[in-house]
Structure 1
Amino acid sequence: MKLEVTEARHPLPVKTASPRAKKWLSFYRKLKRNRAAMVGGAIVLFYIVIAILAPMIAPFDPLEIDLGKKLIPPSGEHWMGTDDKGRDIMSRLLYGTRISLTVGFVSVCIGAAIGIILGLVSGYYGKWIDTVIMRIIDVLLAFPGILLALAIISALGPSLGNVMISVGVFSIPTFARIVRGSTLAAKKLEYVDAVRSLGANDFVIIFRHILPNIMSPIIVQGTLRIATAILTAAGLSFLGLGAQPPTPEWGAMLSNGRDFLFTAPHIAMFPGIAISTLVLGFNLFGDGLRDALDPRMKK
């Protein structure tokens, strides 16, 4: 009688996604269901790609003056026409994308960095520290954003760098109030008490445990704030307080084209379309992020 020896077959281990990977996958699925957010994200991505590839796809030098070709309407050679100095509008628009995105991102980073720190300190420590910081924030909020930016840039002087600073300053109160409210709620949770009982100091608790858990509203507000920053920077340049000639900035181009609205409307039309679509893209994408990151928006 032969004894058959059979080998025990063990099923191969199945790799499961980590909790973080599952969280990101769930976030992407929620975002993907929002068609408006996907459209907004596509618009933003389109402009980012244009900004990166501007030197390679721009048909002409954005600063090259050719008075013999001034005020040419859109044509096969100049797809968006030329301005009053014969400069190619399409090339200037492509390079202007870099400037507008840079102003938007840098100014929001300035406002977010200061606002987040003020909000964390105010919400975590409370008492007189909270009172002092919030009264300063209330003073900044007492001025409309564009007026506060005008006051700051009037004191610093017109330049693109000062535009970033002024727009960043008027973004501080928004971030500070959002972070303060989130910190007040987060510091009462059990995991903060557990970390504190283990001997962690305030710096570790604030920046390693509270801040990472309140990033969702910060990310959403930052995305929406970029749109506001781009629009405000364009407005300041339109008034002559931002980028100075011959910098190809969208607001400055729009200001230059207002003198030719009836004879050469394309000079102002294309920068206006660019500003509107980019701001719309950030707003749509920011709204989608808010819905996807909000746990109360589950379907």
Structure 2
Amino acid sequence: MRSQVRKKKRKELWYKIYSNKAALAGLIILGIYALILIFGPLVAPYDPYEIDLQNKLQGPSMEHLMGTDDKGRDILSRILYGSYLTVGVGFSAVLFGGSIGILLGLVAGYYGGRVDSIISRMIDVMLAFPGILLALAIVSALGTSLINVTIAVGFFSIPMFARIVRGSTMEVKKLEYIDAVRTLGANNIVILFRHILPNILSPIIIQASMRLATAILSAAGLSFLGLGAQPPSPEWGAMLSAGRDFLFNAPHMALFPGIMISFLVLGLNLLGDGLRDALDPRMKA
């Protein structure tokens, strides 16, 4: 019976996404990027690190579809290989920040009282700083690397998840079935992770999809500033940074990495809006 209900809900969700043109466009864009992630390194025509100074700063051609950079490296190959770095950093940052934020939100919303006050004040302090400035401060303190960028971007994602999960937990814990489960002898950990968390996944999924776009953009921005991926890494933000010195005589160096970042963020935002329309009960009303 439960499996049938779940199948019905999944069908309804997919129908709502398919009927939403913006969400469908986002799903198509992300599908293309998924193919790039899976098959990109296999179909890359050149070694992304191979230097060929005789062919540097060449424009797009049949030999190099996206041209070459100032070291003669094929830009298309570097973009295909760099997709792992760009998407991986964003995904890891959201996973890191989301895990901590969800845990804090569950504890604050369920226990309330002094525990809620302490966690809420911590979240307020984190929200007092603009996200990108907080990330800049963390990376400056830890040092320039993709791992530190992941930590920094994930850190300023914590308050977003914590606030949403806290509010949803406070609503769900008042429902009658939670009292029934508690009466049957279930401990707090079981109640939190088996009965409350599965019932507040909708806002978490929506927030994660929207936050992933912000994380990828922020990580690329830090690499653009020289605080993330370092040369010769083919990370898209670092490639965009390398191309800014050649905007007039070789604009393709910055154009193609910028397009890849822009469309990836666009696809995530479109799909996030579609998921919000499909999963948010307030949007249904």
TM-score bracket, normalised by the shorter chain, equals over 0.9
Distance in 2 separating the partners of 1:243 and 1:17: 45
Q: Who is 2:105 aligned against?
A: 119
Task: Give the residue type in structure 1 aligned to 2:262.
Answer: S
Task: Give the residue type in structure 2 aligned to 1:140.
Answer: M
Alignment equivalent of 2:202, drawn from 197, 211, 216: 216
Task: Give the residue type in structure 2 aligned to 1:146.
Answer: I
8 Å CA contact 1:117, 1:176 repeated in 2:
yes
Distance in 1 separating the partners of 2:18 and 2:123: 36
Task: Give the residue type in structure 1 aligned to 2:148.
Answer: N
Distance in 2 separating the partners of 1:79 and 1:55: 16
Distance in 1 separating the partners of 2:284 and 2:213: 26
Structure 2 residues not aligned, in runs of 5+: none
Q: Who is 1:270 aligned against?
A: 256
**Per-residue deviation, residues 184-225 of structure 1 (Å, max 9, x unmatched):** 000001110110111111111111000000000000100111
- Determine whether 1:38 maps to 2:24: yes
**Structure 1 outlier segments of 4+, above 2 Å:** 295-299
Q: Who is 1:226 aligned against?
A: 212
RMSD: 1.3
**Per-residue deviation, residues 72-119 of structure 1 (Å, max 9, x unmatched):** 000110000000000000011111111111011110000010000000
Higher share of residues assigned helix: 2
Q: CA deviation at 1:17?
A: 7.3
Alignment equivalent of 1:250, drawn from 228, 236, 251: 236
1:73-152 alignment to 2 at 5 Å? 73-152=59-138
Structure 2 CA distance for partners of 1:17 and 1:229, relative to 1, 3 Å: closer
8 Å CA contact 2:217, 2:261 repeated in 1:
yes
Distance in 2 separating the partners of 1:33 and 1:176: 31
Distance in 2 separating the partners of 1:228 and 1:16: 36
8 Å CA contact 1:220, 1:286 repeated in 2:
yes
Q: Who is 1:163 aligned against?
A: 149
Distance in 2 separating the partners of 1:298 and 1:120: 25
DSSP-derived class of the 2:230 partner: coil
Distance in 2 separating the partners of 1:291 and 1:247: 38
DSSP-derived class of the 2:58 partner: coil
Task: Give the residue type in structure 1 aligned to 2:157.
Answer: S
Distance in 2 separating the partners of 1:268 and 1:134: 42
Q: CA deviation at 1:169?
A: 0.4
Task: Give the residue type in structure 2 aligned to 1:243.
Answer: A
**Aligned-residue identity in percent:** 67
Q: Who is 2:43 aligned against?
A: 57
Structure 1 residues not aligned, in runs of 5+: 1-14
Distance in 1 separating the partners of 2:3 and 2:127: 45
Alignment equivalent of 1:260, drawn from 246, 268, 280: 246
Distance in 2 separating the partners of 1:128 and 1:297: 33
- Determine whether 1:23 maps to 2:23: no
Q: CA deviation at 1:16?
A: 11
Q: TM-score, normalised by structure 1?
A: 0.93
Task: Give the residue type in structure 1 aligned to 2:271.
Answer: F
- Determine whether 1:289 maps to 2:252: no
Aligned length: 285
Distance in 2 separating the partners of 1:43 and 1:89: 21
8 Å CA contact 2:276, 2:283 repeated in 1:
no
8 Å CA contact 1:52, 1:98 repeated in 2:
no
Q: CA deviation at 1:298?
A: 3.4
Alignment equivalent of 2:186, drawn from 175, 194, 200: 200
Distance in 2 separating the partners of 1:110 and 1:74: 39
Alignment equivalent of 2:225, drawn from 232, 236, 239: 239
8 Å CA contact 1:140, 1:173 repeated in 2:
yes
Structure 2 CA distance for partners of 1:16 and 1:268, relative to 1, 3 Å: closer
Q: Who is 2:139 aligned against?
A: 153
Q: TM-score, normalised by structure 2?
A: 0.98
**Per-residue deviation, residues 1-56 of structure 1 (Å, max 9, x unmatched):** xxxxxxxxxxxxxx997111111111111111101101101111211210111221
